[in-house]
Structure formats: structure tokens, C-alpha cells
Structure 1
Amino acid sequence: MSPKLPTIDQILNIAEFYGMHLNEEDAASFRGLMAGSMASYARLDELAEPKLPVKYPRAPGYRPSLEENKYNAWYWKTDIKGSGEGPLAGKSVAIKDNICVAGVPMMNGSRVLEGYVPEVDATVVTRILDAGGTIAGKAACEDLCFSAGSHTCATGPIRNPHNLEHSTGGSSGGSAALVAAKEVDMALGGDQGGSIRTPSCWCGAYGLKPTWGLVPMTGGMPISYSVDHCGPICGSTEDIARLLAVIAGPDGYDPRTVVAKVQDYVGALSRGVKGMKIALMKEGFGHPTSDRTTDEKVRGAIAEFSALGATVDEVSVPMHYDGPHIWTGVILEGAAEMMIKGYAMGNNWSGYYTTSLQEAFARGWQSRPDDVSETVKLVLILGEYMHRRYHNRYHAKAQNLRVLLRKAYDDILDAYDLIAMPTIPFPATKIPPADCSREHYVDAALNMQQNTCPFDVSGHPAFTVPCGRVGGLPIGMMLVGHHFDEATLISAGQAFEQIGNWQSR
């Protein structure tokens, strides 16, 4: 059905919203001027848009029972076979539930998308299937991915395999839990503030946030284009290398990837760290919220690179402390305008639009706004307030400051191969009780990103490697490298992994 011309009353209502003063004669005049544009919209209805390919047959799968879903980490289970040969042959892969898999329900952790079934495969899904991988299902995630805890998911809290009372971290909590529990070999996560690295760190998995623009997000639901990343979560550095090699590289539907530079990630596994220069960043430690034992163990883990032939020096990047403030300015208004008010995809994007996702989210969001999590409500209300009151000033300033933040890290990387620090400054926290206060609920969702979110803004690749336990829970060491130099991170991660079992540290 083609769109209809607005009525006189609708035109007057819109004019009033924008503070214009029109009378009925003015509105009628504008209505007549709109007829030409409406004819273009009518023609658009007659044209067929391109669809992302769906190359492999599949059954729709099923929602697993509680008995089959011990950690509440699955949203949906499937068994979609790929080509049967290639670098991922024999590997089972969980897909974060903000990424489209054709014919399989997608909820993105939120009741407002419940019932949506995509008709397309995301580019990364097609690449995994082409490489011989098997899609084992959709991993549960946080409500619209706006939480770094694991308690905002509409299907219930995602539980840490190391202690069911504790958070997996988020928003890719299901992906990390399934890998840590060895229910799948590999998983895909998304990272806008730490959402690959946080759950990987807290669950004892390996998680790599690639350089911004290396892995396409085509067919995934974004939060904010300038900080959206997709990457691998695995049980070993070797599997990180293999999965990254498959999903990385330019995609004509995602203009960010035009700058992508792919390396030999599998070949990097054997390079070691001899001769590398590693910068231990002072500002990654000693946050007001830092756990002293975590700091000490991560320092000790970084120091072990010296015995492997690397040089380790302590450096200072004072602007790291401003990274979370810059990230806040970028993502709050960005998410409110693009993800929520922009109905999942925003506008003026020159890449691929998953139009069915936009329509489903618009219907769900507008009809059930009370059903989103408290973190999403906070983002929308504060983002809209800042937009109305300060007219995009702070978002724009934060976007400009990202250049200086990136340079601050690059100045260190001019002299070093990578930067090292704790991924999260403390081990996994307890899942808040269902009747907790809103303040506790929100704090538990957002209080751990001091070291992770700055690198979403700067775009540097960041790799969390398990390096020990505190109170029986995993902790992680984060390695940060040059843009499009994931190979060096993989070399260092593999060298550290081969020292010995991190679980005994």
C-alpha cells in the first residue's frame, strides 16, 4: 500500500511541533506541494530492494527448555550446516542474538522485538557457513545490548558457568557463557563499550574486539555506527585467529569496511613475542573501583612476557581517564537518535538497511515502550534531553575529541607493539536480585567499563586473554594494538596461553 498524503490537521500538528505558525490555507498549499514527492514514494513501493543472500537450507530450530539451558545463555537453538569444508569445518558457532540468521527468531534481548524472524543472513553468518562452520543457535544478550551486566535480558539473567550467582558480563553474555561451558567451539559477539571483552573476561574466554571497520556489521542491529564492532569469542587464541580470518574483510554493504586491512591471523600464532615492546599502562590500574588482587595478578601476567623475550615498560596515558567521558558523549545521543528513535538503523547511512528489522522494531518500540530495560529507558530519556536542551553540542564535541584520544594511544604505540592492562578491574559481580532498586540495577549494568569503552571510541583492536582467578572467578588481561594489527595481539595471546593453564594462576 502506497503512503497517503497527510491531512490538513496532520500538517498543522507537525508545524506546531516545530514552532511554525501556519493556517489552513498554508497547510493546503504545502499538501499540494507534497504530491510530487508522494509519487516517488509510490514508485519505491513498486521496486524490489536487494536482499542479503541465504545460501544454506535450515529448519527454524527451537527455544530450549530450562533443562537444556542451564546458564540461560541460549535464546534459540539450531543446527544450520554450512559448506562442510573450509577452515571452520567441524566447528559449532553461536551467533549473538543481535545478528540476523534467516528463518530463526531474533529478539536482541528485548521484548519489543519478540516474534521477529529475519529473512536474511548477516554477512558474517554467510562467511561462517561458507567456511564450513555450523550455526548452533542464537546466544542470549542484554536488552538491545545496552548493558555490560547480564541481568537485563528479557528472557532472564544469563549465569556465569564458574558461579551461577554471578554475572557473565554483557552484552554478549550468552556467547561467552556458551564458549566457557564448552557448549560451542566459537561465538560471535558485539562490542560498543566492552560487550565482547567484558563477558569474555568474566567467563574465562578469549574475546577480541577488532579494529573498527575490520568486520562488517551488515545484517546486525547496531547501537551507534561510530562505535559498533563485531568479533570472535572463543576458547583459545587459535580459534580466535581462525574465526577472525573468516569474518574479517571488506563488505560492499558496509562502507566502514572500505579501510579494512586483513592479515594472516593463523600464521601469527607461531610468531611469539621475542623482540616485542609491551607498554604496561599505568592508568589501567588503580581505579577507585579496582580490586587490588586483580591488579596484582594482571601486573604479574604482563611481566611474564619478559621471560618470553619481550620488553615490558610502564607508560602513562593520562587521557585514558577521559575515555569513558568521551564515550558517554558519543554513545548516549548516538544510541537514542539512531537505535531507538531511528528504529534500529537510523538514516543517512550509505550501507545496507535491514528494513524488516526496522519495521519490527518500530512497531514493538512504539507499542510497548515500558517493556524495555531500565538501562534503555535511561539512555533514551537522557539522550533525548541532551539533544533537545543542548542541540547535539556534546555529542559533536565528543566525536571531535575521539581524535585526540586515539592520538594519545597512538603516541604510545609509535614506540611499542602493544599496550597491556586489566580488562575489567574486578572479577564478576553478583547478579542483582529481581527486586533490587533501579539504582542498583543500572549500576550493576554499567560500572565496569573503565578500561574497555575508551577503545570503542578510539577504534583500536583489543584482545582479552584469561590470566588467572580471583575468588574462584576468572580475570583477564587486555592487549591493545595498532589499528588493523590484530596479528600482533594474536601472537602475544598465543604466547601467553602456552605458558600454562590460566585457571591455576
Structure 2
Amino acid sequence: MPLPDPDRAALGAVAEHYGLGLSGDEIDEYAPVVQGLLGSWNAVEELYRAEAAPSAPQRAWSRPETGENPYNAWYVTTSITGSSSGPLAGRTVAVKDNTAVAGVPMTNGSALVEGYVPAEDATIVTRLLEAGATIAGKAVCEDLCFSGASITASTGHVENPWDTTRTAGASSSGSGALVAGGHVDMATGGDQGGSIRIPAANCGLVGHKPTWGLVPYTGAFPIEATVDHVGPMTRTVHDAALMLSVIAGRDGRDPRQPADLVPDDYLAALDAGARGLRVGVVREGFGRDESEPAVDDTVRTAVTALADAGMQVSEVSVPWHLHGPRIWDVIASEGACSQMIDNFGYGLNWKGHYDPELMDHFGARWAEDGTRFAVTVTLVLLAGRYGLQTGHGRYYAMAQNLAPKLAGAYDAALADVDLLVMPTLPLRPTVRPAADARPPEILARALEMLGNTCPFDVTGHPAISVPAGLADGLPVGMMLVGRPFEDATVLRAAHAFEQAVGGFPSPSQSAVPA
């Protein structure tokens, strides 16, 4: 669609926005030059349509009928196959609805994205299909992925298969519920503050947040480029390693990825075992203000299984771990306000692959009706925009400059041990608030669990959540963290733990909807 020619009122609004102090006559002087310059905008669109615009394939999809949507976890269902052979042949995968499957609607959990149909598969979707997987559908995620509890998606709450009154964890809530409930073999998740590991912990699954840049984010809806991750959610560590081996590696379109990146064979790495690995139990990961003693006790008991599996266990202290959430707050709030909202998802000023149709669709929708932002996104906008306009970006800049200090604190600990361990979450899955809950209760439930997970989105270290056990019948997750790009070591230790405890439990059949 050609860019409309601006009239005096439109240019006057721009001048007022920047405080240019132009009179109407002065605007008229600029107008023909502006209009001439804007001709390049239309020329670029013509070139893009002729040379670069993708064309969406025709793929069948359907919205599940009422009563046929377990845990309210599916947005749409599909049955898309690529290769008939490969390491994932015969395996079903749910794709988080922040990640593009070409020809299939995507909402990113938000009414403000409803109606968008991507024309290209995300890189990880292409790789899954080439490996023989069947894409079984799009799994519900939280509204714009900004919540740690399954309570803000525009399609309604997602239920936890272990106790359907409780949160499944988020933002990859549908992915967690569908895998835990046995409706798919594996799923993709996205993680900016813990959103692979949170639902993995709440649903009794394995959730691996890869090293930042190991897996291309191309084709997933961004929040903030410096904390965006995608990765596997599975029932077993074996399957997490298998999926990671399929989706990791450069795609040439994501500048997060190092030029010399060569992924490991993560599945083969499991055979090396974990005997002799040194594990540091992070003191600051336990006994937080929000911690439940039952969670801490369950994880400390699980740590003994690490020792039984031949790992050397000691306690370490990383005081900066307690600063991590504050640093994340600023980066995630101001960064998302600027990139995801003000600059329509993808932001500007980087040499990555963009989705111009998504940017236009989302930008137009939220500009029409900002009242449709979720409570969590409204909080981010209020705080993030206030911080940006008051500090002119200096708080974001300070937080990003502190990020290497935070990473260095973990790296210093990881110089003496191979892995760090702590509870994934301080809490067991909490009861979802009522439909008429007010913002303070919704925000409390959505953000209460992030303390141990979000720092590693800032630093980019690989981190996996595995089921540590049950506390009063509810899953508790244990998180293992490794050195950057040593994802294989993290998976080795997690696999050894899984073998030592004899596998991980599944939800009782009584919790599964008929």
C-alpha cells in the first residue's frame, strides 16, 4: 500500500512531536521536499513486493471446538509434515504461538495480533519439518508473552494438568500443558524472563533455555533482542537434546549468532555421562523472600541425587544473583517498550531478518485501541515509557552496562565448578485468579516467580529446568546452569540426574480432562 502524501496537519503533528517550532508557512516550505523524499518509501515497497516478499503456502488448520481443547492450550490445530524421514520422524510438536508457521494464524497470545497469518516458517519450524516432525498446532501463549502465569492470553486461562485450578506457568503455557498432558511429544517454547523454564517447572517437564544465540530466533515475535530465546520443552532430557540438535546452529539471518558457531551433537553428548562434573549449589537461589520451604527442601533433596550420580557437589555464593532481577526489570521494560511497542515488534537498527507485514499489522492494531493491551503489558508500558522519557534511555544504558558484571559473577563461580544449581522457581504452581480479578492480583500472580530465572536471560547462560520431585502432589523444578555454549554439559548433568532418579513422573490421570 503506497504511503499517503502528508498534509500540513500531518507534518505539523510530526513537528510538534519533536518540538521543531515550525510555523504553518515553514511547514509548507518543507512539504514538497518531504514529499519528494517519501517517494523512496514507495519505491522500496515496490522493490520488496517484486523481489523479496514471501508467499504463504496453503496449509489446513482449525480452531478446536469447545470441549475438544485440553487445558485450553491449543490456539489452532494442524497436521503439517515435511520430510518423511529424519531424527524426529513420527514425533508430534506443538509450536508456541509466538513463532511463525506459514499459512497458519498467529496471535502471540494477543487480540492485537489476531488476524495475522505469517508467510514464512520460522527457522526452527523449517528445521523441525526437515527433521521429520509433524507440527500438530499452535500452543497458546501469554498476551505478547509478558507473564509468568497462564492468565493473560486473549483466548483465556491455560490450566495445569497436575491441578486444573492452578497456573501452568508461562508464557509458554500451552506448550507446557500439552506436553505434560500427553497430547504432543514435544513443544517449542520462548524465554525472555524464564518462559521455557517456568511452565516446565510447573508442569513437571524438561525445559531448556539455550545459550543466547545458539538457536536462531528468526520468525519468532520479539520482545527485546538482547533477552529473546527459543528452545525445547519435552518430557525427557533425551528429547530435549534431540530437539536442540535439530534446531541449533546459524541461519545467516539472526545477528545474535556468532559467525563461528558450530553446535555440538547434544544427543551424543548424553552418552559421556556426568561423573566428575562439579556442581555449585547457589546459596542465593534458596530462601528468597517469596520462597516456599517445600520447594527449597525438594530441590536440596534432588541435589543429593546429583552426588549419587557421581557429581561433586559444593555450595557457592553469587551475591550478584540477587541483583539480576532488578537489571532484568529495566532491560525488559524499557527495551520492550521501545522495541516491541514503539517500534512494532522488531524494532530498528539491526542487521537481522524483519517481518514487515507483522510490524504493520501489529502497529496498526495497537495504535487503534491501546485498551486491548493485557494488564501485564500495561504495567510494562507505564513503567518503561516513564523510565525512557524521564531518563532519556540512561537507565536502560546503565542496566545493559551492568549485564556483563552480572554475567561475570556467574562466570567467576563457573571457573571453579562446571554447573550451578538452584530451584527453578521459588513457588509451586499457584491458583489462578478469578476472571474478575483486579490488576494488583493479576500482576502478583504473573510476576511472582521470576527471581531465579530472569537473570540468565540477561546473561545468556544456558539453563535447564528438570523435575526435582513433587511437593504435596505438585511439581517442583530444579535448574542447572552452565557456561555459555556449553549446553551439552548442562544436558549431560540433567540426563544423569534423570537416570539416577529413574525418570520423571507424569500428571495423575484424574487431573486430565475427559
Classify the TM-score, shorter chain. over 0.9
Check conservation: 1:71, 1:177, Cα contact below 8 A.
Answer: yes
Q: Counterpart amino acid of 1:114?
A: E
Q: Hey, what does 2:449 align to over in structure 1?
A: 448
| In structure 1, C-alpha distance between the alignment counterparts of 2:262 and 2:387, rounded to whole Å | 36
Consecutive unaligned residues of structure 1, counting only runs of 5 or more, are none
Classify the secondary structure of the residue corresponding to 1:116: coil
Q: Tell me the alpha carbon deviations over residues 360-419 of structure 1, each in whole angstroms, 9 at most, x when there is no partner.
A: 111221122111211111111211111111111111100000010000000011111110
Q: Equivalent residues in 2 for 1:56-205 (5 A)? A: 59-205=59-205
Task: Note the C-alpha offset of 1:52.
Answer: 6.0
Q: Counterpart amino acid of 1:210?
A: P
Check conservation: 1:58, 1:80, Cα contact below 8 A.
Answer: no
Q: Hey, what does 2:496 align to over in structure 1?
A: 495
Check conservation: 2:6, 2:35, Cα contact below 8 A.
Answer: no
| In structure 2, C-alpha distance between the alignment counterparts of 1:349 and 1:389, rounded to whole Å | 25
Check conservation: 2:188, 2:233, Cα contact below 8 A.
Answer: yes
Q: Tell me the alpha carbon deviations over residues 467-500 of structure 1, each in whole angstroms, 9 at most, x when there is no partner.
A: 1011211001100001011101111111111122
> Higher mean Cα deviation, 157-166 or 45-54?
45-54
Classify the secondary structure of the residue corresponding to 2:329: helix
Q: Hey, what does 2:407 align to over in structure 1?
A: 406
Check conservation: 1:205, 1:234, Cα contact below 8 A.
Answer: yes
Q: Hey, what does 2:512 align to over in structure 1?
A: none
| In structure 1, C-alpha distance between the alignment counterparts of 2:28 and 2:249, rounded to whole Å | 51
Task: Note the C-alpha offset of 1:217.
Answer: 1.0
Check conservation: 2:330, 2:384, Cα contact below 8 A.
Answer: no
Q: Hey, what does 1:42 align to over in structure 2?
A: 42
| In structure 1, C-alpha distance between the alignment counterparts of 2:4 and 2:115, rounded to whole Å | 28
Q: Tell me the alpha carbon deviations over residues 216-245 of structure 1, each in whole angstroms, 9 at most, x when there is no partner.
A: 111110100000000000010010011001
Task: Note the C-alpha offset of 1:293.
Answer: 1.4
Task: Note the C-alpha offset of 1:308.
Answer: 1.7
Normalising by structure 2, we get a TM-score of: 0.95
| In structure 2, C-alpha distance between the alignment counterparts of 1:112 and 1:10, rounded to whole Å | 25
| In structure 2, C-alpha distance between the alignment counterparts of 1:22 and 1:90, rounded to whole Å | 65
Q: Counterpart amino acid of 1:241?
A: A
Q: Hey, what does 2:316 align to over in structure 1?
A: 315
Task: Note the C-alpha offset of 1:119.
Answer: 1.3
Q: Tell me the alpha carbon deviations over residues 165-223 of structure 1, each in whole angstroms, 9 at most, x when there is no partner.
A: 00001000000111101100110000000000000000001000000001111111010
Q: Hey, what does 1:439 align to over in structure 2?
A: 440
Task: Note the C-alpha offset of 1:53.
Answer: 8.3
Q: Equivalent residues in 2 for 1:262-281 (5 A)? A: 262-281=263-282
Q: Counterpart amino acid of 1:352?
A: H
| In structure 1, C-alpha distance between the alignment counterparts of 2:246 and 2:219, rounded to whole Å | 16
Within the alignment, does 1:285 sit opposite 2:286 as a pair? yes
Check conservation: 1:329, 1:395, Cα contact below 8 A.
Answer: yes
Q: Hey, what does 1:252 align to over in structure 2?
A: 252
| In structure 1, C-alpha distance between the alignment counterparts of 2:262 and 2:280, rounded to whole Å | 24
Task: Note the C-alpha offset of 1:26.
Answer: 1.7
Consecutive unaligned residues of structure 2, counting only runs of 5 or more, are 507-514
Q: Tell me the alpha carbon deviations over residues 235-265 of structure 1, each in whole angstroms, 9 at most, x when there is no partner.
A: 1001001100111001111111135341110
Normalising by structure 1, we get a TM-score of: 0.97
> Higher mean Cα deviation, 164-173 or 64-73?
64-73
Q: Hey, what does 2:391 align to over in structure 1?
A: 390
Q: Tell me the alpha carbon deviations over residues 142-183 of structure 1, each in whole angstroms, 9 at most, x when there is no partner.
A: 000000000101101000000000000100000011110110
Q: How many residues align structurally? A: 502
| In structure 2, C-alpha distance between the alignment counterparts of 1:104 and 1:42, rounded to whole Å | 29
Q: Hey, what does 1:375 align to over in structure 2?
A: 376
| In structure 1, C-alpha distance between the alignment counterparts of 2:34 and 2:156, rounded to whole Å | 47
Q: Hey, what does 2:481 align to over in structure 1?
A: 480
Within the alignment, does 1:304 sit opposite 2:277 as a pair? no
> Higher mean Cα deviation, 134-143 or 363-372?
363-372
Q: Counterpart amino acid of 1:433?
A: A
Check conservation: 1:4, 1:38, Cα contact below 8 A.
Answer: no
| In structure 2, C-alpha distance between the alignment counterparts of 1:175 and 1:53, rounded to whole Å | 28
| In structure 1, C-alpha distance between the alignment counterparts of 2:339 and 2:233, rounded to whole Å | 26
| In structure 1, C-alpha distance between the alignment counterparts of 2:93 and 2:47, rounded to whole Å | 36
Cα distance change, pair 286–261 in 1 and its aligned pair in 2 (3 A): farther
Q: Hey, what does 2:213 align to over in structure 1?
A: 213
Task: Note the C-alpha offset of 1:349.
Answer: 2.2
Classify the secondary structure of the residue corresponding to 1:77: strand
> Higher mean Cα deviation, 445-454 or 363-372?
363-372
Q: Counterpart amino acid of 1:222?
A: P
| In structure 1, C-alpha distance between the alignment counterparts of 2:403 and 2:200, rounded to whole Å | 25
| In structure 1, C-alpha distance between the alignment counterparts of 2:54 and 2:423, rounded to whole Å | 39
Task: Note the C-alpha offset of 1:45.
Answer: 2.2
Check conservation: 2:55, 2:119, Cα contact below 8 A.
Answer: no
Task: Note the C-alpha offset of 1:67.
Answer: 1.9
Task: Note the C-alpha offset of 1:66.
Answer: 2.6
| In structure 2, C-alpha distance between the alignment counterparts of 1:198 and 1:213, rounded to whole Å | 20
Classify the secondary structure of the residue corresponding to 1:498: helix
| In structure 1, C-alpha distance between the alignment counterparts of 2:242 and 2:96, rounded to whole Å | 18
| In structure 2, C-alpha distance between the alignment counterparts of 1:73 and 1:438, rounded to whole Å | 23
Q: Tell me the alpha carbon deviations over residues 110-139 of structure 1, each in whole angstroms, 9 at most, x when there is no partner.
A: 111111111111111001001111100000
Q: Hey, what does 1:25 align to over in structure 2?
A: 25
Check conservation: 2:207, 2:240, Cα contact below 8 A.
Answer: yes
Percentage identity across paired residues of the two chains: 48
Check conservation: 1:284, 1:421, Cα contact below 8 A.
Answer: yes
Q: Counterpart amino acid of 1:503?
A: P
